[in-house]
């Protein structure tokens, strides 16, 4: 298991605040540090959940994205539990 951690900043599209994000990735594969830096530097602005979706699409693995915005702590886990759910035969 490889664990990667990085902090980066992005603006909130609602109020323009600069928010520090903390990303942790757990994966069995190798992710180049340069790829992590590129993926996070490409994010200048966005809603927390949309940023999480973008990063899991770009980098893979199991990710936790954390930030505090106006005193509200936000933690997003990707892939989300909804993606892990496979419907039973009776649900199809």
> Tokens representing 51?
């940023």
Report pLDDT for 92. Answer: 41
Rounded-to-integer distance, Cα 37 and Cα 35, Å: 5
* pTM attached to this predicted model: 0.83
Report pLDDT for 1. Answer: 94
> Tokens representing 13?
């599209």
Band (pLDDT 50/70/90 cuts) for residue 11 is: very high
**Of 25, 32, 22, 19, residue with least CA distance to 2:** 25
Greater confidence (80 vs 7) lies with 7
């Amino acid at each position: 298991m490889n664990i990667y951690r990085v902090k980066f900043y992005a603006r909130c599209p609602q109020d323009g605040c600069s928010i520090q994000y903390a990303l942790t990735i757990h994966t069995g594969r190798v992710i180049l540090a340069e790829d992590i830096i590129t993926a996070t530097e490409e994010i200048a602005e966005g809603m927390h959940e949309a940023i999480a979706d973008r990063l899991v699409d770009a980098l893979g693995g199991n990710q936790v994205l954390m930030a505090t915005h106006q005193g509200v702590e936000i933690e997003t886990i990707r892939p989300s539990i909804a993606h892990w759910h496979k419907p039973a035969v009776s649900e199809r």
